[in-house]
Amino acid sequence: VQLQASGGGLVQPGGSLRLSCVASGFTSTSYSIAWFRQAPGKEREGLSCESNSDRSTYYPVSLKGRFTISRDIAKNQVYLQMNSLEPEDTAVYYCASAPDHCSALGPFAPWKYTNWGQGTLVTVSS
């Protein structure tokens, strides 16, 4: 069971970026998949979760609708579309999975996720 995140890079404030997470060794629909991020000196923060069984999605209120999670079942990939990026969004972004519904995972309790990707760095700067 492996996850690999990619798509990070340098983007200007107000710009957009789409991150990808490729799942291997398991069928992504059997797992809920979430995105987290961690900025230097800060705790890991949950950004979105899409559930395995009913594809329901969860977001923290703090994101104000800027981020959207989606899944391509045929490619076994999950995406995070990020819009209206701000310098405060600079962080390492991770995808994670667990064989439970998002509601059983917090939905953003990191210790409940069993598999993690290696992270991809997003830098928002002019």
- Strand pairing class (45-50; 32-38): antiparallel
Q: What is the pLDDT of residues 13-52, one digit of tens each?
A: 999 999 999 998 877 678 999 999 999 999 999 999 999 9
Structure tokens at 78: 């999950």
Give the mean model confidence (pLDDT) for residues 104-123: 96
Return the pLDDT at 26.
77
Return the pLDDT at 42.
96
Check: CB of residue 123 under 8 Å from CB of residue 90: yes
- Strand pairing class (115-116; 91-98): antiparallel
Q: What is the pLDDT of residues 82-113, one digit of tens each?
A: 999 999 999 999 999 999 999 999 999 999 99
Return the pLDDT at 46.
97
Give the mean model confidence (pLDDT) for residues 43-66: 93
Return the pLDDT at 29.
75
